Structure 1
């Protein structure tokens, strides 16, 4: 693990509760979860009707340790694993099925796991859940693997690119691209956020689970994606990881998508022609 300073710049001048607040700055944000659930139910109905959905595949003994795999029409090009956000505190796979649409249209299978949440388990256990879900999904779909995650999910897919992670060498060798969207890669500021009543991070845990504190797997390409209209802390976090890992990775860059906020930035995953889907799948 690399050395990380034990404080963060200008912390005494920053309201860390406000820094990670997204909904209050996005009109209509409170209505979005119901919209996502409705669109996701529609996609699951279509996939089930076509016999192209494997539901509730178990990768662990816990109630939430399950995943869905959506398959395209025809032969699959490979596997995309999509990891949802929610600050490690909320949501499950059923809220996010609609985001599989864009990759399915290009012939890729898409796995979406649920995982255990804080405060029931620490973030380190959530990281292990996602690793186990990727391992299990890889047994069900052959070919290259591409990882994409949003917000807390972006943190989790970035952690799987850290050299200390537990993906088997066989699965790690299949990683073709990792795309963290609007992620948190330095967890130390969360110690000063009200969410830490549930996350229960101390400094040791925050550093251990921060991708910026780890060496990356050098050969796996990464694209850090973030909305250009997001809160300053999310823009800072993206710049920070790109700067920390750029000297150690063969292919890493950041994309700041114009006009997008923390929630609208994921809309691109629903459209096969979007810049985000084309970047994730390596389509020129």
Structure 2
């Protein structure tokens, strides 16, 4: 197994740069149509989230964390991903956080905990944590650590961090083996809360393995979405009728109602 080939998704997916560049335009157009409430969760310039509220009282709430391997992007790249859940009456907040190497994984985790707490106080309901790639890792961490996070749906997440040690990703992270294990939610005690992991069916064997083994470790469920790669796997979030969005909405609704999902 070549870790660099398995985890360097920008190199692995042809046209990935154009896909990512397209996110910014689609996100800006979405914000123009539906301006968010900006909710600060800390004093730093990146410690804020864009909160999109549905028409009518929210039936649930989701914190949606961007990817970028903890070292790139921000909330302004993904506003359009809120569209599917908003149509189901779910409020969606997209937080930014500080980036490596200026920040540590522990520091970023603490920021997201502050963001989840601020969103919970703002809306007064339990949360669904979701996110893409590194955001999927952070969503899993929130499920384990935050009582206000009642369910999680990570998308193409990284839950075992040791395979990243010998890749270019780790240049900014600066992890050693002990730190990678400590930051791997798959190695933590399962939180006994609802978990569903999704991953693109056209992703690398390692990304498929990560979701499959993490879901098994935490007694959750998982699925591979046919034909989707590490970047196109986000496209379903814009479609209210897509089964992934319907599942996420159900998790958010039932989290809000305080129900345990079978």
TM-score by length of 1: 0.85
CA distance in 1, matches of 2:177, 2:5: 20
Alignment check: 8 A CA contact 1:226 1:255 kept: yes
**Which residue pairs with 2:89 in the alignment?**
107
**Which residue pairs with 2:156 in the alignment?**
182
Q: Is residue 265 of structure 1 aligned with residue 248 of structure 2?
A: no
Q: What SS is found at the alignment partner of 2:131?
A: strand
Q: What SS is found at the alignment partner of 2:49?
A: strand
Instruction: Give the counterpart of 2:13 among 17, 26, 31.
Output: 26
Q: How many residues align?
A: 252
Instruction: Give the counterpart of 2:4 among 12, 17, 42.
Output: 17
Alpha-carbon offset, residue 153 of structure 1: 0.3
Alpha-carbon offset, residue 142 of structure 1: 2.9
- Could you list the runs of 5+ residues in structure 1 that have no partner in the other structure? 1-13, 247-251
Alignment check: 8 A CA contact 2:8 2:169 kept: no
- Could you list the runs of 5+ residues in structure 2 that have no partner in the other structure? 252-262
Alpha-carbon offset, residue 101 of structure 1: 0.4
Deviating above 3 A after TM superposition, structure 1's stretches of 4 or more consecutive aligned residues are none
What are the within-5 Å matches in structure 2 for residues 90-169 of structure 1? 90-162=72-144, 165=145, 167=146, 169=147
Q: Is residue 233 of structure 1 aligned with residue 206 of structure 2?
A: yes
TM-score by length of 2: 0.92
Alignment check: 8 A CA contact 1:78 1:142 kept: no
Largest Rg, 1 or 2: 1
Q: 1:99-155: CA deviations, max 9, x gaps?
A: 000011111111000001100111111111111101101111133421111000000
CA distance in 2, matches of 1:197, 1:20: 13
User: Alpha carbon RMSD of aligned pairs, Å?
Assistant: 1.5
Q: What SS is found at the alignment partner of 2:98?
A: coil
CA distance in 2, matches of 1:160, 1:216: 12
CA distance in 1, matches of 2:44, 2:166: 30
